[in-house]
A and B are shown apart, each in its own frame.
Chain A
Amino acid sequence: MSPEADKKNWVGKSLPRKEENRLLRGRGKFSDDIKLREMLYLRFIRSPYAHAKIVSIDVSGAEALPGVVCALTGTEVAQQTQPFIEIGPDPFAKIKDYPLAVSKVRYQGEPLAAVVAESPALADDAAELVQVDYDPLDPVVDAENALTNKSILHEEAGTNLVWNGIFEYGDVEEAFRDAAYVVKVDHLHFHRFSSTPLENNVVIAQWNPKDERIYYQCNNSFPSFAIQFLAAHLGVHIDRIRVETSDIGGSFGIKITSYPQMAVCALASRKAGGRPVKWVETRSEHITSSAHGNERTFRDTRVALDKNGVITAITSRHIDDCGAYPRYEPLGCVIWSQVFPGVYRFKNARIDFSQAVTNKCPVGPNRGYSRMQHLWFLERVVDICAYELDIPADEMRLRNYIRPDEFPYTTPNGCVYDSGDYPKMMQLAKDLIGWDDWKTKQVIARKEGRLIGIGIGTTLDSGTNNFGQSQIVNPFLPYSGNSQGANCKLDIYGEVVVAVGSCPQGQGHETTAAQVVADVLNIHPDLITVRTGFDTERNVHTGFSGTYASQFAVSGLSAVHGAAQKLKAEMKRLAAFALETNEDDLEFGTGAQGPETRAKSTGKSINYWGLANLVNANSAALPPELYELTLNCRYIWRAPFKVPDTKKKYGSLTLTYAAQLHMAVVEVDCDTYIPRILDYVAVDDCGTVINPPIVEGQVYGATAHGIGAALMENCVYDAVGNMLTSTFSDYIPITAVNMPNVKYGHIETPSPHSYSGAKGMGEGGAAPIHTISAALQDALFASGIVIDDSFNNADSLFRALTAKEISQADKLVKVEKRV
């Protein structure tokens, strides 16, 4: 294949999205739109207790209801299946995770039985007739408490500690010995929140008794992962499981872990004689039991700084709460270390990282997964140190940022940051927000007794994982590197058709894939059909296919690019034969008969139909040496990774590092304590931009999600594990009326690690959470308040500002001055 440079006619253009026509006219096809003959409806029976023994379950009343086809209990499932694969090592590898609770329930909302009926309403009625006797156990709702092991969730493991590891680099002791200042922060806490996709989880499963194949139509967002879990659990060959996704109304990572529900639907379909079974999650089910983001506590942080406020070392103890079952965990125990030093230059650090199970909803990879918690922690540390050393927050960052001339930058733990220019992003953000102006206004406002703060949040969105990092949590795991597949073909009549192994949820993959292929073939993107949505039967997926972890622009489009190049090379060989010339004489373009290949020397051309016809329908004209051409080209792109050193926890963990720098001006009202965003700027750098409006849209979405998380969205449990925020009256997703006007800016530092210079993006590094915490902190330092939680609302600010002893800061932060 000749790696000939593409013309850049389409990549980088603000091409309107191909999928808009369908989605904006209400013609999207979502899983719940699918209605099948003989379809049945499944309803889960869920635990009202956070932690309890199941004494008995009686489904006979439900089964007797006319219209009910069958019921399924955990015990039955356990007899028919293997427990799900555990990613972590022993002793947690010993736990038995079934999709329906078997002998005990471990969180409120955990399913323990299911009923299947002719209509959704009948299934609801039947669910009310299921009788369950519980024997309540002591609930554990706090991860640090869980680690005392007073009440054990999983007896097979004998402990609530899922994983522990020490990440140590450089010479920490020396750095503290030489420090001019040591700042200690007793504790910080990153709260539990989730995502609110417009469309909840939906599964339709059919276990066909005729051919023993399972057909899923669903909106799982990482089907390659799901089928690996399901095949082992259900005891079927992986090729017998077909997963098809169509349009998906948002996932944000939360739909990765819907495989337990997928398992139940398949088993229910088998029990119902092979009729298709549909489960449509309700909103409350989604909030209480789909998946939450990881909650994390940061203890005993010590920061060493030199006399100029340059951070030289950090030590800290982090405790992550993964809810009742690890599922995708303990991958989060290493994924944060993709951004180990954040955007900063410090070389010495020791982080003692633990993860515990608690009687709360299991976590799933929520947008910004595992990195945002850590990045928030670093941004808090930086602001606290800046304040204690009396250095302005912007200046503090500039002194500590990795410098533009240091890229590619190798972090203390061996990650390679591809490119970036954080000072330039800061300057752009300052220009957009009017930094000096706001600083002046702030001084005046303070004199009037108003509480105004200006905050900066710098963060990273690391994309395209090296799955070899999973071996840091469990050396026995058979995963490393990263790959993505794509297929590009000329169909019988010469249409260009691209298939990808991703399952987009609004990221515009149809459009960007078409842009890439359009440049390879030098034709208009409208002439390219992109089949998105995952389908195992298209055979384009690899073990890592799906849409997650900010990577499509790199892994997905590299695969598409490779497949298109492969197709082009085949087309060239064919065209050289047909036009009786050599390959160097050919050019690609569009002629009077559509897209074609032309001989420059003779001016003769052959269009795509002509080429496709030679291979597919007119093959007697084809010489045997061209028989190997298929015009149906599958390409697998692989990221150039090595397996990390699992002992030292060292190696390249991600390929690209997009950066976000946000600024916010926030006022806390002195009467109502309501925090109000007065100004907001989001500056993004995701390398070379493939489609500017798509990138901008992702930035707005991530910004809204982050502002919601910072001020409105909080999963609250009471002391016995009741979830207090199980409806939209209490769990408040952000809406347009809550959004400030966001000023958007971007810079481009092309990535040397991707063929196009693009970096993965979309998760957004939770920049608004860091930024709003920073702005509130700036407003409240003078009142002696340290923002020690990532969630702040009017009520919590009221409590902080009216607390009896306002000198909370003295207790939380201590400074040792040695100069």
Chain B
Amino acid sequence: MLSQLGDEAKVLAGGQSLIPLMKLRFANPSHLVDLNFISGTSYIKEENNALRFGALTRHAEIEASPIAAKIPILHDCAAGIADVQVRNRGTIGGSLAEADPSGDWATVLITLPTEVRCLGRTGERSLPLSDFIKDAYTTTLAHDELVREVVLKVPPKGGGGAYLAFKRSAPVYPTASAAVQLTMEGDICKDAAIALGCVGLTAIRPKEAEAALRGQRITDKTKSAAMEAARIAADPQTDMRGSADYKRTLAAALVKRAIDIAIRRAAGQQVEVSHIYA
């Protein structure tokens, strides 16, 4: 159908990005193809050490899911997106397809081994999230291709993560955010994945910050090194959410806090977190 309608047509999932753009008349699709009535597109399954999310799974469903709660960073993310109304409508597939530089899902999922399964006219393909999102608002999806499913590996034993954002109020995108996913062995950090959100065209992986932690006992010094590396890696723009300098500093501070929480979670502690609001 999409191929017939041509590239002015758009699919509609939760509508929480597309409808606001249409309201402002920034988007003017010739046709809308509503995916909401296709059954079997909204689910959360655990199979072979992997979690599978149907593309139309709502943020609120992930927030409430006991399966997703096993990976605390997913719950941090789902529960912190906007407000209840947006979470009840918005979908994980739509969020990745939109590739908004301020979107939360991409920042979080990029710290986990995540595959995006796409369905096109010629069949299915699966690609890592880091290849799926090419640039701000740009993915590798063809205009007649759909996101079908998001698949991610359950982190190994000793895994713990946290996702923190600073938002000026609930229904506003973050000023900056940080996702940290660690694999701990005792007090040594075996592996670290860090992503910064809202401070670049896409989520940024500050590789140096990860390297500062990897293989190390985490001390104030290693944390400072990670913070500094994150500060440098961030590439934000000045806007009404904050100046570029401030956003760098903020992203680094969020990395530090997320590391602390990730370590405690890796040690099996239950830590409730919430985004920081102005």
Residues on A close to B: CB < 8 A? Answer: 124, 128, 669, 671-675, 711-712, 716, 724-725, 728-730, 732-735, 737-738, 793-795, 798-799, 802
* CA distance in complex: A799, B171 (Å): 26
Check A737 against B170 for contact (C-beta < 8 Å): yes
Contact status B278-A793, CB under 8 Å: yes
Q: Is B240 an interface position by the 8 A CB rule?
A: yes
User: With the chains together, A733 CA to B171 CA distance in Å?
Assistant: 11
Report yes or no: B278 in contact with A794, Cβ–Cβ below 8 A. yes
Residues of the B chain whose Cβ atoms lie less than 8 Å from the Cβ of A730: 239-241
Q: Is B132 an interface residue (CB 8 A)?
A: no
Whether B253 contacts A672 by the Cβ 8 Å rule is yes
Q: Which residue of B lies closest to A711 (CB)?
A: B278
A607 to chain B, nearest CB (A): 52
On chain A, the residues within 8 Å of B239 by CB distance are 730
Cβ contacts under 8 Å, B173 to chain A: 729
Q: Is B172 an interface residue (CB 8 A)?
A: yes
Q: In the complex, A669 Cα to B256 Cα: how many Å?
A: 13
Given the interface contacts A716-B240, A799-B246, does A738 sit within 8 Å of B278 by beta carbon?
A: yes
Quick check: B246 and A712 within 8 Å, CB to CB? no
Contact residues in B for A674 (Cβ distance below 8 Å): 166, 276, 278
Most interface-central of A724, A793, A802 (chain B CB within 10 A):
A793
Contact (A672, B240) CB under 8 Å given A732-B278, A738-B169, A794-B278: no
Which of chain B's residues have a CB closer than 8 A to the CB of A124? 25
Are B250 and A732 in contact, CB atoms less than 8 angstroms apart? Answer: no
Cβ of B249 < 8 Å from any Cβ of A?
Answer: yes
* Chain A residues with CB under 8 A of B250: 672-673, 794, 798
Roughly how many angstroms separate A128 CA and B25 CA in the complex, as a whole number? 10
Does any Cβ of A come within 8 Å of B277's Cβ? yes
Note all chain A residues with C-beta closer than 8 A to B240: 716, 724-725, 729-730
Q: Contact at A712–B256, with CB atoms within 8 Å?
A: no
Once the chains bind, are B169 and A712 in contact (CB under 8 Å)? yes
- Set of chain A residues within 8 Å of B125, measured between Cβ atoms: none
Q: Which residues of B contact A737 (CB under 8 A)?
A: 169-170, 277
B216 CB-CB contact with A under 8 Å:
no
A27 CB → nearest B CB, Å: 22
Report the bound CA distance from A671 to B257 in whole Å. Answer: 10
| Interface residue B168 (Cβ < 8 Å from any Cβ of A) | yes
Q: Is the CB of A738 within 8 A of B172?
A: no
Contact string, B239-278, partner A, CB cutoff 8 A, digits 1/0?
1111101100110111011000000000000000000111
A793 to B276, CA, bound (A): 14
The A contact surface, by secondary structure, is loop
User: If A674-B278, A794-B278 touch, does A734 touch B169 (CB 8 Å cutoff)?
Assistant: yes
| A712 touching B249, Cβ below 8 Å | no
Name the interface residues of B165-179: CB closer than 8 Å to any CB of A. 166, 168-173, 175
Q: A712 near B243 (CB under 8 angstroms)?
A: no
B246 & A794 in contact (Cβ 8 Å cutoff): yes
Which residues of B sit under 8 angstroms from A795, Cβ to Cβ? 242-243, 246
Let me know if B278 and A712 touch, CB within 8 A: yes
Task: Give Cα A362–Cα B235 distance, bound, in whole angstroms.
Answer: 37
On whether the beta carbons of A799 and B166 are closer than 8 Å, the reply is no
Q: Are A672 and B278 in contact (CB under 8 A)?
A: no
Chain A: CB-nearest residue to B253: A671
Contacts of A675 in B (CB 8 A): 278
A-B contact pairs, 29 of them (CB 8 A): A124-B25, A672-B166, A672-B249, A672-B250, A672-B253, A672-B276, A673-B250, A674-B278, A712-B278, A716-B240, A725-B240, A729-B173, A730-B240, A732-B169, A732-B172, A732-B278, A734-B169, A735-B171, A738-B169, A738-B277, A738-B278, A794-B175, A794-B242, A794-B246, A794-B250, A795-B243, A798-B242, A798-B246, A798-B249
Cα A734 to Cα B175 with chains together (Å): 16
What residues of chain B lie closer than 8 Å to A716, measured between beta carbons?
A: 240
Residues in B neighbouring A728, C-beta threshold 8 A: 171-172
CA distance A674 to B252 in the complex (A): 14
Q: Which residues of B contact A (CB under 8 A)?
A: 25, 166, 168-173, 175, 239-243, 245-246, 249-250, 252-254, 256-257, 276-278
Contacts of B243 in A (CB 8 A): 795, 798-799
Query: Given the complex, which residues of B lie within 8 Å of A673, measured CB to CB?
Result: 246, 249-250
**Residue ID in chain B nearest A729 by CB atoms:** B172
Q: Which partner residue on chain B sits nearest A725 by CB separation?
A: B240
Which of A672, A712, A799 is in CB contact (< 8 Å) with B168? A712
For B278, the chain A residues whose CB sits under 8 A away are 674-675, 711-712, 732, 738, 793-794
A613→B253 CA distance, assembly (Å) = 77
Q: Would A735 and B170 count as touching, CB distance under 8 A?
A: yes
- Give B226 Cβ to nearest chain A Cβ, in Å: 13
Q: Which residues of A contact B254 (CB under 8 A)?
A: 672
Closest Cβ of chain A: how far from B29's Cβ, in Å?
Answer: 15
Across the A-B interface, the 9 shortest Cβ-Cβ residue pairs:
A671-B253, A730-B240, A795-B242, A672-B253, A798-B246, A732-B168, A795-B246, A735-B169, A737-B277
**B25 CB → nearest A CB, Å:** 8
A738 contacts which chain B residues (CB < 8 A)? Answer: 169, 277-278
Q: How far is the CA of A728 from the CA of B169 in the complex (A)?
A: 10
Q: A673-B249, A799-B246 are in contact. Are A794 and B169 (CB under 8 A)?
A: no
User: How many Å lie between the Cα of A124 and that of B23 in the bound state?
Assistant: 10
A98 CB → nearest B CB, Å: 28
Q: Please, which residue of chain A has its CB at the minimum distance from the CB of B256?
A: A671
A264 to chain B, nearest CB (A): 22
A671, A672, A711, A735 interface centre (most CB from chain B within 10 Å)? A672
CA distance A517 to B254 in the complex (A): 59
Question: A519 vs B16: C-alpha distance in the bound complex, in angstroms?
Answer: 53
List B contacts of A802 (CB < 8 A).
245, 249
Q: How far is the CB of B30 from chain A (nearest CB, A)?
A: 15
The residue on B at minimum CB distance from A669 is: B253
In the docked arrangement, what's the CA distance between A672 and B250, Å?
5
**Which A residues touch B166, using CB under 8 A?**
672, 674, 794
Q: Which residues of A contact B277 (CB under 8 A)?
A: 737-738
- The smallest C-beta distance from A281 to any residue of chain B, in angstroms, reads 15
Q: Given the complex of chains A and B, what is the CA–CA distance between A735 and B169 in angstroms?
A: 7
Docked pose: A38 CA to B249 CA in angstroms: 58
What separation, in Å, do the CA atoms of A82 and B70 have in the docked complex? 70
Min CB gap B252→A, angstroms: 8
| A735–B167 alpha-carbon span in the complex (Å) | 12
With a cutoff of 8 Å between Cβ atoms, the chain B residues found around residue A671 in the complex are 249, 252-253, 256-257
Q: Which of B173, B175, B254, B278 has the most CB of A within 10 A?
A: B278
- How many Å from the CB of A580 to the closest CB on chain B? 67
Give chain A residues whose Cβ lies under 8 Å from the Cβ of B172: 728-729, 732
In the assembled complex, which residues on chain B have CB atoms less than 8 Å from the CB atom of A799? 243, 245-246
Residues on A with beta carbons closer than 8 Å to the beta carbon of B256 = 671
Chain B residue nearest to A739 (CB atoms) is B277
Q: How many angstroms from the CA of A616 to the CA of B250 in the assembled complex? A: 74
In the assembled complex, the Cα of A200 lies from the Cα of B63 at a distance in Å of: 33
A735, B83: Cα distance in complex, Å = 11
Chain B residue at minimum C-beta to C-beta distance from A671:
B253
Q: Please, how many angstroms separate the alpha-carbon atoms of A673 and B253 in the complex?
A: 10
Instruction: Contacts A673-B249, A799-B245 known; list 8 others, CB within 8 Å.
Output: A669-B253, A671-B252, A674-B166, A712-B169, A729-B240, A793-B278, A794-B175, A802-B249
With both beta carbons as reference points, the residue of chain B lying nearest to A730 in the complex is identified as: B240
Question: How far does the Cβ of A416 sit from chain B's closest Cβ, in whole Å?
Answer: 41
Chain A residues contacting B241 (CB-CB under 8 Å) are: 730
Query: Whole-angstrom distance between the alpha carbons of A147 and B278 in the complex?
Result: 36
Bound-state CA distance A795–B168 (Å) is 11
Across the interface, name the chain A residue whose C-beta is closest to B243. Answer: A795
State in angstroms the CA–CA spacing of A712 and B173 once bound together: 14
Q: How far is the CA of A802 from the CA of B243 in the complex (A)?
A: 13
B245: which A residues are within 8 A, CB to CB?
Answer: 798-799, 802
- Select from chain A the residue with minimum beta-carbon distance to B175: A794
Closest to B168 in A: A732
Contacts of B25 in A (CB 8 A): 124, 128
Q: Which residues of B contact A729 (CB under 8 A)?
A: 172-173, 240
Q: Given the complex, which residues of B lie within 8 Å of A734, measured CB to CB? A: 169
Assembly CA distance A793 to B243 (angstroms): 12
Q: How far is the CB of B258 from chain A (nearest CB, A)?
A: 12
